[in-house]
């Protein structure tokens, strides 16, 4: 009878340890999943920003020209998020109420980056890599900047995208779209 009591005590102690270990493992696994999900979403946002910006085309037409200031920029891209890739489409990235929004021509805007507080801004680099608050530059022949970045309120670069194309339309560039 005493042996049976000792065996039951040992089994209950082992069962308690296994249940506690399983609970700890499941808690750590949930934390790892959450961190992985947040990192994947951050990478996806970075990729969306870079892919749409890098495919923006230079244009001499005023209605198709890249324009921007600290709170928004617009241009015609070949890599929209929702429409078919390769089809030129006007897109707009903007900052409203501490959120970063993306909109394709004629569609509702999407929130790409949630509440970040005030102080977010876009900046544009010219061919000499000087950062500017507005684009286009008065009197310049550059139709698109070399780079666009999103800055946080403390001056950190959150997103950065380089333009793939030369900043001036090439001679065989078609102006129809």
* Average pLDDT, integer, range 66-91: 92
- Supply 165's token pair: 């194309």
Q: What is the pLDDT of residue 33?
A: 94
pLDDT at 44 over 80: yes
* Average pLDDT, integer, range 90-114: 93
Strands 72-77 and 147-151: what pairing?
unpaired
Count Cα neighbours of 102 within 13 Å in the Cβ-side half-sphere. Answer: 19
Long-range contacts of 124-128 (CB under 8 A, 24+ apart): 124/68, 124/73, 124/148, 125/149, 127/167
Lowest-confidence segment of 27-41, 121-135, 138-152, 159-173 by average pLDDT: 159-173
Confidence of residue 115 (pLDDT cuts 50, 70, 90): confident
Query: Cα–Cα distance between 33 and 37 in angstroms, integer?
Result: 6
Confidence of residue 134 (pLDDT cuts 50, 70, 90): very high
Q: What is the pLDDT of residue 172?
A: 45
pLDDT at 160 over 90: yes
Confidence of residue 177 (pLDDT cuts 50, 70, 90): very low
pLDDT at 61 over 60: yes
* Average pLDDT, integer, range 151-173: 75
Structural contact between residues 59 and 65, judged by C-beta atoms closer than 8 angstroms: yes
């Amino acid at each position: 009878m005493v042996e049976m009591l000792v065996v039951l005590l040992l089994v209950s102690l082992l069962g308690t340890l296994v249940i506690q270990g399983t609970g700890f493992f499941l808690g750590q696994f949930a934390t790892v999943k959450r961190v992985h999900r947040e990192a994947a979403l951050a990478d996806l946002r970075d990729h969306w920003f870079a892919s749409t910006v890098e495919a923006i085309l230079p244009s001499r037409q005023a209605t198709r020209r890249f324009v921007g200031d600290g709170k928004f920029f617009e241009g015609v891209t070949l890599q929209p998020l929702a429409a078919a890739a390769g089809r030129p489409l006007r897109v707009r990235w903007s900052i409203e109420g501490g959120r970063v929004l993306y909109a394709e021509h004629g569609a509702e805007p999407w929130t790409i980056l949630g509440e970040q507080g005030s102080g977010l801004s876009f900046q544009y680099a010219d061919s000499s890599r000087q950062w500017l608050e507005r684009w286009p530059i008065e009197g310049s022949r550059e139709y698109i900047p070399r780079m666009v970045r999103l800055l946080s309120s403390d001056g950190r670069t959150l997103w950065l995208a380089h333009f793939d194309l030369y900043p001036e339309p090439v001679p065989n560039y078609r102006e129809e779209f």
